[in-house]
Amino acid sequence: MGFIEFKGKQIEVDEDGYIQNLDDWTPELAEFLASKDGITLTDKHWEVINFLRDYYEKYQIAPMIKILVKEMA
């Protein structure tokens, strides 16, 4: 496991760079991570991000792609 530094805090990530503690996630961290990949998050990105976070919080699993596509249509 590794860490990323953000606002003076070490955030634990796995070998693929995924945050290990969901409580460490913030919109500012999402913007920071996106910028490291050269991405500026738009309203459409936030729509998907918020749907995925809400779904995961409710069901403790990522939605099947057909559910995501249906919700984003």
Instruction: Specify the pLDDT at position 6.
Output: 95
Question: What gap in Å lies between CA 11 and CA 34, rounded to an integer?
Answer: 16
**What's the whole-number mean pLDDT along residues 35-60?**
96
Write the pLDDT tens digit of every residue in 11-45.
999 999 889 999 999 999 999 999 999 999 999 99
pLDDT of residue 73: 83
What is the C-alpha to C-alpha distance for residues 52 and 1, in angstroms, rounded to an integer?
24
Pairwise CA distance, residues 54 & 22, whole Å: 12
47-63 mean pLDDT? 95
End-to-end CA distance of the chain: 37
pLDDT at res. 1: 77
Question: pTM (2 decimals)?
Answer: 0.83
